[in-house]
Amino acid sequence: MSVKIQEMRIDIITVLPEMLEGFVNQSILARAQKKGLVEIYLHNLRDYTKDKHRRVDDYPFGGFAGMVMQCQPIDDCISRLKAERHYDHVIFTTPDGEQFNQSMANELSLAENIIILCGHYKGVDYRIREHLITKEISIGDYVLTGGELAAAAITDAVVRIVPGVIGDEQSALSDSFQDNLLAAPVYTRPADYKGWCVPEVLLSGHEAKIKEWELSQSYERTRRLRPDLLNKNTPSHDKD
Ligand code: ADE
């Protein structure tokens, strides 16, 4: 029985497509697109404005500081994309969104089509968030100059776990955070570099002992560096 590999499409709407151009066409993202597993399209929001000066922002009502992204170009761009296919998520990158994490990346990687709207200036006219956005995502409690880096982080984390993108499937599954545990340390040749030695057990060839060592290292590092993760449905081992 042959299993049809589902291709994923990500449409990123931005006022700075040049900032993302290099990023989406490098390394694993480039390979994923060449393999036909993912399609990534960048849309310049300015191409959708009806303003003769190609402006996409205006002053906020109420006399607040900063500029606000207007409804019309965003609505037109999203409407055009939606007229062509169904989208599972229309994401807005914003510091007041839900905090991005591995389980969100896992969930998004199952989608067929995603739109990511990069926020800019003081924000976006709230009516866009109320009527068109289905998911608001923050990549951390700090404010970036725009949502492009957030869109890049989300795209990268999602695409790398799409089946077939990373050759060795096991390597994506054993990432830090996949099971709320930090990954165990890894080493490569030489086994002794300037007297800095690789743990003996890794050279033993004893598979069960190596697995046990890996798990205990994961727990030790998680307990020491990210104890908060241990309460989040961590598989039982020696949590305490
Ligand atoms: N735009 C500005 N800061 C951001 C953040 N921390 N996460 C997502 N989008 C943002």
Model confidence, pTM: 0.91
Specify whether the CB–CB gap between 75 and 130 falls below 8 A.
no
Q: What integer is the mean pLDDT of 186-214?
A: 98
Q: pLDDT for 87-143, tens place per residue?
A: 999 999 999 999 999 999 999 999 999 999 999 888 999 999 999 999 999 999 999
Question: How many of the other CB atoms lie within 10 Å of CB of 33?
Answer: 17
Question: Is 57 in contact with 70 (CB distance < 8 Å)?
Answer: yes
Q: Tell me the best of 142, 148, 154, 155 to mutate to test the pocket of ligand 1, counting ligand atoms within 8 Å of each CB and taking the most.
A: 142
State if residue 14 touches ligand 1 by the CB under 6 angstroms criterion: no
SS3 218: helix
CA distance 46 to 55: 7
DSSP state of 215: H
Q: Which amino acid is at 1?
A: M
CB 71 near ligand 1, within 6 Å = no
219/225 Cα distance (integer angstroms): 10
Query: What is the pLDDT averaged over residues 195-210?
Result: 98
Q: What percent of the chain has pLDDT over 90?
A: 85
Could you write out the three-class secondary structure of 170-197?
A: HHHHCCCCCCCCCCCCCCCCCCEECCEE
The CA–CA distances, whole Å, from 98 to 18, 41, 88, 136 equal 27, 24, 17, 6
Tell which one of 122, 124, 135, 143 to mutate to probe ligand 1, the residue whose CB is within 8 A of the most ligand atoms. Answer: 143
